[in-house]
Amino acid sequence: MKTRITELFGIEHPIIQGGMHYVGFAELAAAVSNAGGLGIITGLTQKTPADLANEIARCHDMTDKPFGVNLTILPVIEAPDYPGYIDAIIDGGVTIVETAGRNPQDHLPRLKDAGVKIIHKCTTVRHSLKAESIGCDAISVDGFECGGHPGEDDIPNMILLPRAAEELTVPFIASGGMADARSLVAALALGADGMNMGTRFIATQEAPVHENVKQAIVAASETDTELVMRPLRNTERVLKSDATTRLLEKEAALGKDIKFPDIMAEVAGVYPKVMMNGDMDAGVWSCGMVAGLINDIPTCQELIDTIMSEAEALIRQRLKDIIAA
């Protein structure tokens, strides 16, 4: 299958594995890329630029296919060493970067001068247009269904994707609620050039996370996520758990007076405890509504092969038969 995204990034299939904290390690990124998609290493999971350089080198040892690095621009007082992380990306020969969070404009000149292609994650059309205007090569359009941060406008992909198609000229991918061939075909029909999957890739054999995490996703339904941190306008979609209940109770009790320090126990430093140690109630962790469509834990190769073969069948058979009728 050829789309503007496969052409832009030099990949076989229009499927991207999004950056995920304490999930996007070299093992997963390489497995996705080897299967024909685009794997992504999560940059800030690596504590230092030197650690990221080592992770990039490990990924090169596991695949000769294109892969990218996610670099999230955080709204913090003491920013990470972004120039150092960018050095590691460029020196490591990575030519694709997924940016997320705040506007990446300050970091684009160095990346673009090095020939790096940028795909920026956006949850609204207006932000997508801004990303296009500052020189991003592609956009990941994230609908309200997505795990992690869906923004504050609550626009689902059935509306957001066709609106993006009406406005954008650069290629864009659909993110949020993507899990299978139906997702891919629907995304293409709505105007996207491919799809990004996050939660679906956590539930794969190669994802280097605790088995408890994978089984929790398989066991979850589409109603088993909650939105937290809404009063702080930092909304995050997470899997229901005891930690989620504790956080929501704090939000209800404190109301508009809530501050980040009030919820640090539920959100700060929890990802290693959950993803690596399997402590499912250590804190809240991102999970999309798409968990309701996830019923197995395949290899990345099996997952992508199935998606592509079933997508082709949908297009060539079911949709063709509907038109013929």
Do 116 and 49 lie in one domain? The reply is yes
Do 30 and 148 lie in one domain? The reply is yes
Helices (H), the chain: 4-9, 26-34, 49-62, 82-91, 108-113, 125-133, 157-167, 181-189, 199-202, 211-219, 242-254, 264-267, 271, 300-313, 319-324
Do 216 and 102 lie in one domain? The reply is no
Whether pLDDT at 325 is above 90? no
pLDDT band at 323 (very low <50, low <70, confident <90, very high): confident
Do 59 and 204 lie in one domain? The reply is yes
In this structure, how many other beta carbons lie within 10 angstroms of the beta carbon of residue 27? 19
In the chain, what is the greatest distance between 2 CA atoms, to the nearest angstrom?
Answer: 62
Do 9 and 40 lie in one domain? The reply is yes
| Boundaries of domain holding 128 | 4-208+297-324
Do 312 and 223 lie in one domain? The reply is no
Do 11 and 149 lie in one domain? The reply is yes
**Three-state secondary structure call for residue 99:** strand
Q: What is the pLDDT of residues 19-70, one digit of tens each?
A: 999 999 999 999 999 999 999 999 999 999 999 999 999 999 999 999 999 9
Q: What is the pLDDT of residues 196-234, one digit of tens each?
A: 999 999 999 999 999 999 999 999 999 999 999 999 999
How many separate domains does the chain show? 2
Give the tokens for residue 239. 């899997």
Do 156 and 278 lie in one domain? The reply is no
CATH code: domain of residue 27: 3.20.20.70
DSSP 98: E
Whether pLDDT at 291 is above 90? yes
Do 238 and 276 lie in one domain? The reply is yes
Do 216 and 204 lie in one domain? The reply is no
DSSP secondary structure, 276-294, as one string? IT--TTSS--B--GGGGG-
Do 272 and 302 lie in one domain? The reply is no
Do 273 and 258 lie in one domain? The reply is yes
Q: What is the pLDDT of residues 102-119, one digit of tens each?
A: 999 999 999 999 999 999
Give the tokens for residue 297. 């834990």
